Structure 1
Amino acid sequence: MSVTLENKNVEKRAGNTPDAKVEFGLLDPRTLLVETNVRAEANLTPRFLKSIRDNGVLSPILVQRTEQGLRVRAGQRRTLAAVEVGLEAIPAMIVQGDEDQIRRLREQVAENDDRQGLRHADYVAAFEQMSLLGVSVVEIANTTGHSTSDVKAALTVAKTKKAKAVQAKYDLTLDQAAVLAEFENDTEAVEALTEIAMKSPDRFAHAAQQRRDGRDAAARLAEATKALADAGIKQVTNWNAEVKDNKAAQELQQLQSGEGKTVTPEAHAICPQRAAYIGTSHNGDIYTRHVCLNYKAAGHKLNHAKANDTRTEQEKETARAERAEVITNNKAWKSAETVRREWLAQFAKRKTAPKDAANFLAGSLTADTHSIEKASLGAHGLACEWLGLRTTGGWGSRQALSDLIAKATSARALHIALVLALAAIEERTGLHTWRRSGSESRYLRALEAWGYNLSDVEQIARGPQENSTACTEKKADALTSTASPQQPEAKVANTVKTTSPATDRDEQPAKTGVDSTNAAPAKGQPAPNPTKGKPQTAGNTTGAKPEPGKRQPVKPQAEKAASAPQPVKA
């Protein structure tokens, strides 16, 4: 069936004379001739095939009448997809053919160049309207070819005024906009994360998680502060000035009553000199230290003589700075661990392993045997979690893994084995990992090559960056054509001055803001330059080797820029 229309407004453009008559019809795609196309591959993705199967071909293809038959000139991908899914008829615009190959190529390039996909903000608007019309999340996902997680993210953004406005302006991804929705009431966080999304998208997940952790820490701090206020206890805000350097003040655990009894917080409740300090431990936990601001006036005695601190002021300040750095890096590591394990859980869903998976597994069987054995004794709990196996541990977990492997293809079975090894290595990591440069070099380099974006603190555990060209080639070779996390841009490690371990307790007021390692630059300041801060071979600018066995803590971006070598002026 076809309809012929006459074009009375024919113009000659670029040497082409359009046909005065254009015929439209429904054609059987199996009978059409598909000529050579500028596209090297049709790229018939599952999502595209599903769209053609569910909705048919919505835009007519361009077909030319030739001596050999009807030949597709524009719409090769739609035609092949229609054949693939079994459509019997597709709409077409039919014109008289010619042998002008230059024209054919020019038209094919123009048609593909001029196509513009929907913006992420357009998806938000479309899914929102479908939801308002009563279409469920699952139905929206099934009919549009998007994942349910994408649809949920879009609907979350649609409900938040600030995130929706920012996404419409900058066209952030659905995932990024959904994160902004979490911070709807925190304007500073939205602005900082938006800037990171635009300038350093590979840092976005880590920056967002640090914001979440900082928010949670602030909530715990507020709760502890309120508990002190409700109990009528004065809060010490500067431990060094009010307690450590104050000869009259002392922590309760160092005191005893006049009768020689231990002074507990409960027994000290009636003392007019009672106070308490809320601090942050080396692993980021909030703690409370009860003190007496004038223990002699209160009638208390020391358990033992108070040792004199013989350190100089500069040594004290250095120790405090080191301590603050430890707390900052520990917070950064805990945030990075959350992001990394979420990424690994998605990585575990792949149907095939990366090309170099066998090499990594072979290395793990020799270098990580203790970790693998320990994970096996624990019934591979973390691996089961990543693989989506709901088990209670022990024999049940092993049986679930055996059943999963029995049903898997050879490619999937290799990937499951890789997940088991990765989970075993991951379980041995912790706050201690970042304290020694290169402590998990093989593991983190592999994750980086497979598409994971390392945070600054993870780059310490990875060690100095490899040659950028070799690293890029390795990453491209490792990634397969199967669905996997997005490949990141190359990053460089930050090698900074080493410090010695600090004590387990903080001597600074608790800080609950975001780790400045991944914070966005302040207004009016230039964005961090990713080309700066590349590691030296020896770890410093003087050629001296760093002391072995000591960690290399992360410094804030501003400090890195300030400490970078400056060019000598003529």
Structure 2
Amino acid sequence: MSNATAQAGVQVTPAQWDTLPVAQLTAHPGNVRDIKVPAKFQADIKANGVQEPLYVVRTHGDVPQVIDGFRRLAAAVAAGLETVPFTARPVIRIDALTPHPQNAREELDINAAFVESLRSEGCRVPVKVQRLDGGVVQVNDGNRRFFGAQEAGLTHLPYEWDDDDRDAAGQFLDMITTAQHRKALSHGEMTAAMFSASEAGAQVGRIAKAAGVRQKDVKAVVKVKGDKALSDAVASGTYAWTFDQLAALSEFADDAEALATITEAAEEAEDDDADEVDWAIRIERTKREKRAKAGAHRAELEKAGQKVRDMAELSDRATPVWRLKTPDGGRITAEGHAECKGQVWVLEDAEDEQLKPYCTSPALYGHAEPGSPMGGSGKSTAQKEAEKVARAAVKKGNLEWDAAETRRREWLTDLIKRRNLPKDTTNTLIGHVNAALLGGTWGICDDLNKEPTTNILAGLLGLTGDKAKHRTDFPEHVAKDPRRAPQLQFAAVAAVREKNAPRAAWRTDDQRAPWYRTPTGKWFAILEALGYQLTPIEQSVKDNEPYDPNKKKRAAITAAEPEQADQAPADDAAAA
């Protein structure tokens, strides 16, 4: 028998039924009956073959036993047919069924995923039917399957007879009890079943259709479940990992530390809150991107013949170039220090994108630090330790800021590329654009055409490669639909806003920059009104509150869909 055996009884067209040799069936005496076949029926079988499958089961010794279809088999023998279609379970034609006139479900929820699952794998659960007066065969249980199968193009459904004496009250009670007894698979059970199906030989497309998910979701499950480190990570707790999170996990299969951090976030997540895990993934992804950039910078320096060292190799005398002074107190620039024999390049922190120039011995090479004429900072051990802790907090805050910036711009890109936005959202975008252009605020006049703005705008518009090189060509590479004008104009304004929202905006220490923080807070308020959900570090800027990167906090990062956003308050639009 062919692969279709598993789908017997649920095929879309008779041509797709499994078949059995007539000789194999007639070899079993129990299948041969003395039946008089009507001439009209015999002529139809001879002309068109057997269209309705025989219901055949396997008895002891693997003998095929016909349960229903003796007349069709007799006609096939008389017509000289070699094979007949069969099903391993009882089926009934859909056009022979009548839905229950008072089905308990007001909303059947026959969605595309459900229909595709039926089309791919057929109906696996029999409908329960009852024969009424006049020969009507009514579906007492399974009306959703009945209507879904029609949309999927199925011709038959598996069925079982309801009790003949079941009264109308009993039918409604059955609707209640069968609905209550059904329990959907948990997300973990679903992913485990998908992986088992893959191991058993099911192709990705077939699994996706049966489960009603995307093919990339199936691939993510298979990859994670097939890797021991990843599988152990997701199996260590009760958290229900989303498909997107499983796909992201595969990026860290070779990074035990990152996996541990993400898994810890999953263990601490409250009520399967995806926010915590999404944020942990975002942070780890940002770290990886920074390490890649640092690796590229190091390779560039080494190619240029520069000396590169690890921080651990430097003595306590080593000092970053930006802190150095000449003996008379003058400033030493990076360019001015380039020829110093004591210059080396180091990666100060694992998450830095660039290596920094250091002088291995300022006193030896004639430099000085502020506060000390020739070497030495003049600071106590306690002061140095306090500075070290403060620098670590700043680095952590910068990392979170960078991760939030990437996420924020992805959200903006999604908003800008949407074809249809609610009228309120569109009006809000227009209000921001008008306020920015007519009021000339927030650097629109000064920064609109600067290179950093152009680079950000290209990203928001989804332009890459050659399309992102020349600003004057941008209009040629975006949608010409005039209905998208508000989004495109807003993109230009947003690029300026983002250009003027640097890391310094979150700082409230001695490096605070209120000229960045204040307008950035207003910008975040506008985005929040549009439906963007601020991360804690962004929220602190919007609220003009200090931010402590080391404080234990919940990471609210699930953004609402832009089209669901309410209109921003009028005074916020005016403040733009």
- Specify the TM-score bucket, using the shorter chain as the normaliser: 0.5 to 0.7
Q: Deviations over 1:86-135 (max 9, x none)?
A: 43332322323744447624643543552323644644663575488494
Please identify, of 215-224 and 200-209, the stretch whose mean Cα deviation from structure 2 is larger: 215-224
Task: Check if 1:361 corresponds to 2:361.
Answer: no
> AA paired with 2:538?
E
Alignment partners' CA distance in 1, 2:161 and 2:125: 13
TM-score by length of 1: 0.58
Aligned match of 1:425 = 494
Change (3 A) 1:134 1:497: closer
Give 1:92-131 correspondences, 5 Å limit.
92-95=159-162, 96=164, 98-101=166-169, 104-105=172-173, 107-111=175-179, 113-117=181-185, 119-120=187-188, 122-123=190-191, 126=194, 130=198
Give 1:57-206 correspondences, 5 Å limit.
57-67=123-133, 69-95=136-162, 96=164, 98-101=166-169, 104-105=172-173, 107-111=175-179, 113-117=181-185, 119-120=187-188, 122-123=190-191, 126=194, 130=198, 133=201, 135=203, 141=208, 145-168=212-235, 170=238, 171-198=240-267, 199=269, 200-206=273-279
Query: 330, 336, 349: which one pairs with 2:398?
Result: 330
Alignment partners' CA distance in 1, 2:186 and 2:472: 49
Alignment partners' CA distance in 2, 1:111 and 1:218: 53
Aligned match of 2:113 = 47
Q: Deviations over 1:18-65 (max 9, x none)?
A: xxxxx9541325852234444442222222222223333232222233
Change (3 A) 1:222 1:242: farther
**Contact 1:49/1:85, CA 8 A, preserved across alignment:** yes
Q: Secondary structure at the match of 1:289?
A: strand
Change (3 A) 1:232 1:104: same
**Contact 1:348/1:387, CA 8 A, preserved across alignment:** no
> AA paired with 1:336?
A
Aligned match of 2:536 = 456
Q: Deviations over 1:389-428 (max 9, x none)?
A: 977665754244344x27xxxxxx56x8447636742552
Which protein has greater RCO, CA pairs closer than 8 Å, 6+ apart? 1
> AA paired with 2:348?
G
Q: CA deviation at 1:311?
A: 9.3
Aligned match of 2:284 = 211
> AA paired with 1:444?
L
Q: Secondary structure at the match of 1:72?
A: strand
Aligned match of 2:409 = 341
Task: Check if 1:384 corresponds to 2:467.
Answer: no
Give 1:369-448 correspondences, 5 Å limit.
369=437, 374=448, 381-385=458-462, 397-403=474-480, 405=481, 413=483, 417-418=486-487, 421=490, 424-425=493-494, 428-429=497-498, 430-431=501-502, 432-435=504-507, 436=517, 438-446=521-529
Aligned match of 2:10 = none
Change (3 A) 1:375 1:356: farther
Q: CA deviation at 1:332?
A: 0.9
Q: CA deviation at 1:375?
A: 8.4
**Contact 1:127/1:140, CA 8 A, preserved across alignment:** no
> AA paired with 1:88?
T
Q: Deviations over 1:310-362 (max 9, x none)?
A: 99999887776655444322221111222333445556665643574234324
**Contact 1:433/1:439, CA 8 A, preserved across alignment:** no
Alignment partners' CA distance in 2, 1:286 and 1:366: 43
Higher share in helix: 2
Please identify, of 275-284 and 165-174, the stretch whose mean Cα deviation from structure 2 is larger: 275-284
> AA paired with 2:326?
Q
- Cα RMSD, aligned residues only: 5.3
Q: How many residues align?
A: 432
Aligned match of 2:559 = none
Change (3 A) 1:354 1:423: farther
Change (3 A) 1:529 1:346: closer
Change (3 A) 1:301 1:329: closer
Alignment partners' CA distance in 1, 2:93 and 2:386: 79
Q: Secondary structure at the match of 2:359?
A: strand
Q: CA deviation at 1:193?
A: 1.0
Alignment partners' CA distance in 2, 1:129 and 1:307: 73
Aligned match of 1:32 = 98
Greater radius of gyration (CA): 2
Aligned match of 1:484 = none
Change (3 A) 1:287 1:220: farther
Aligned match of 1:535 = none
**Contact 2:344/2:359, CA 8 A, preserved across alignment:** yes
Q: Secondary structure at the match of 1:439?
A: helix
Q: CA deviation at 1:219?
A: 6.5
Change (3 A) 1:192 1:314: closer
Structure 1 residues not aligned, in runs of 5+: 6-22, 257-261, 407-412, 465-494, 499-514, 519-527, 532-570
Q: Deviations over 1:366-398 (max 9, x none)?
A: 344468994899596334318999776657542
Please identify, of 214-223 and 434-443, the stretch whose mean Cα deviation from structure 2 is larger: 214-223
